[in-house]
Structure 1
Amino acid sequence: MTTDRIEKEIEIKAPVSRVWKALTDYKEFGTWFRVNLEGPFVPGETARGNITYPGYEHLVMQVVVKKIEPERYFSFTWHPFAVDPEYNYSDEEPTLVEFTLTETETGTHVRVVESGFDKIPAHRRAEAFRGNEGGWAEQVRNIRDHVEKASQPAA
């Protein structure tokens, strides 16, 4: 078992274009990820916003967008499990989060990889890994549920 990377995969019953929009449109991303982002994702720029997940509303999420390859690949860096507003995370090496989309017969395969945990200071590495391991398990379900619910015809 590696402690440097988290990998999660999920199948979403929707076209790649629909999943891509949910992933890279900052308003849709904010809905399923539970963050109120201030503006769109732009390569090389910082995206930030208040977290809306219950119990974490006092925190600001901040990511630096690395790459956007339409309908295939989206990546950013961030400081994982940055939950202590009194702690200065800026001296730490951020982890890399990568989303890869692949078309399947029934929709879209989504793969999320977060890597670089071995560079996090030892005093918080295990907690950051454990927190994000559980967080990504929830977030891949969140994007699936968001997309599939939005893709269902109205009753």
Structure 2
Amino acid sequence: MSNNTDSIQRSIVINGTRERVWRALTNAEEFGAWFGVDLSGQVFAPGQRTRGLFTHPGCEGLMFDIVIQHIQPQDAMSFHWHPYAVDTAVDYSGEIPTLVSFNLQDAPGKAILLTVTESGFDKVPAHRRRIAFEMNTEGWEIQLQNLANHVGQ
């Protein structure tokens, strides 16, 4: 177990083509379908902010709010966001966001190895750093499985 508190990294092998996994990651509406957020009518583009309400039970009323950093077709995508920004009475805009990066690699058996890395937790305010790190560590495991299930449909 790593003592790294600045970043989370999780990987999953997804049975699907690179094109299919890529579309599930970079088509905003499809991303929203597996991530549990309403991104109807939106697109992901570098430098663009994308916002929508969470649809996942228990998260209703919470805002998903990201800025796309980078898109390298069929290889990598990244965005900035404020991790575990769940208190609707708090303005998180003054905080330094973390960077979430998705990287695709070919895997044996016509599958894709998808790795997500979220870095920058050491810059999250100290009073919420630990809970944000813990919740997102668990969250990425769940979301990668959601993505794999979505691609397999």
Scaled to the shorter chain, the TM-score interval is over 0.9
SS of corresponding position for 1:30: helix
Q: Pick the aligned partner of 2:141 from 120, 128, 137.
A: 137
Q: Is residue 56 from structure 1 mapped to residue 89 from structure 2 by the alignment?
A: no
In the alignment, the residues of structure 2 paired with residue 35 and residue 95 of structure 1 have an alpha-carbon distance, to the nearest angstrom, of: 19
- Pick from 105, 122, 134 the counterpart of residue 118 of structure 1: 122
Task: State the 4+ residue runs in structure 1 displaced beyond 2 angstroms.
Answer: none
Q: What TM-score do the two structures reach when normalised by structure 1? A: 0.94
Q: 2:91 aligns with which of 77, 81, 88?
A: 88
Provide structure 2 residue ranges, at least 5 long, that are not aligned to the other structure.
none
In structure 1, distance between residues paired with 2:132 and 2:56 = 17
Question: 2:5 matched to 1:7?
Answer: no
Q: Identify which range, 69-78 or 101-110, moves more after superposition.
A: 101-110
* Aligned-pair Cα RMSD in Å: 0.7
Counterpart amino acid of residue 91 in structure 1: G
The Cα of 1:105 is off from its aligned counterpart by 2.2
Partners of 1:137 and 1:14 in 2: how far apart? 18
Q: Secondary structure at the match of 1:109?
A: strand
What CA deviation, in whole Å up to 9, does each residue of 1:29-82 have, x standing for no partner?
011000001410010010110100111111111000000001000000000000
Q: Which residue of structure 2 lines up, in the alignment, with residue 153 of structure 1?
A: none
1:16 aligns with 2:18: yes
| TM-score, scaled relative to structure 2 | 0.95
How many residue pairs match? The answer is 149
Q: Which amino acid in structure 1 is aligned with residue 37 of structure 2?
A: V
SS in 2 for 1:27: helix
Does 2:118 align with 1:146? no
Give unpaired runs (5+ residues) of structure 1: 150-155
Q: 1:45 is matched with which residue?
A: 48
How much identity, in percent, do the aligned residues show?
46
